Structure 1
Amino acid sequence: MHALKFEEALAQLEQIVERMEGGRLPLDESLAAYRRGSELLKLCHQQLSDAERQIQILDNGSLRDFSVSGSEAR
């Protein structure tokens, strides 16, 4: 099984939330969905942390606020 990309994991997480919010899942399916959602959330957080570390490395160890001025956006 391949590692999920961030976008794939987030899409699956959104589907789980929609199913759970519908309130029609049996208890055992709700527990399984919650467990899977927790795994996906952890994966997303890890991938975001990894991306932040890569940005810090590329930006000489500091993570700066990103802002786009009118002249830079063109």
Structure 2
Amino acid sequence: MAKRTFENALGKLEQITEELENGDLSLEVSLKKFDEGIGLVEYCNTTLTEAKAKVELLLEKQGGLTKQPFDELDHGDQELS
């Protein structure tokens, strides 16, 4: 079995989402796919949380850089409606 990566998990999650959106699956299969998707979401969330912690640690080690929450960054080209 291939090692699970964030990219593979995200790709599989997208595939499951498409399959569920098509509505061609039985209820039993849909529930199994949904359960698998939940596991993939948890894996992706954990992986992203770990990556964020590593980035913050690297920023602290560099000294002169300061952390800024992502949602407070100026995105420039995005407008709020």
Looking at both structures, which has the greater relative contact order when contacts are Cα pairs under 8 Å and sequence separation is at least 6?
Answer: 1
Aligned partner of residue 16 in structure 1, secondary structure: helix
Specify the alignment match of 1:15 in structure 2.
15
Give the share of equivalent positions with the same residue, in percent: 33
For these two proteins, the number of residue pairs brought into alignment is 68
**AA in 2 matched with 1:60:** E
Determine the C-alpha separation between the residues in 2 that align with 1:8 and 1:63.
29
**AA in 2 matched with 1:42:** E
Structure 1 residues 63, 2: CA separation in 2 closer, same or farther (over 3 Å shift)? farther
The root-mean-square deviation of aligned C-alpha atoms, in Å, is 2.1
Gap regions ≥5 residues in structure 2: 75-81
Determine the C-alpha separation between the residues in 2 that align with 1:2 and 1:63.
35
Task: List 4+ stretches of structure 1 deviating above 3 A.
Answer: none
Higher relative helix content:
2
Q: What TM-score, normalized by structure 2, do the two folds share?
A: 0.74
Q: What TM-score, normalized by structure 1, do the two folds share?
A: 0.80
Gap regions ≥5 residues in structure 1: 68-74
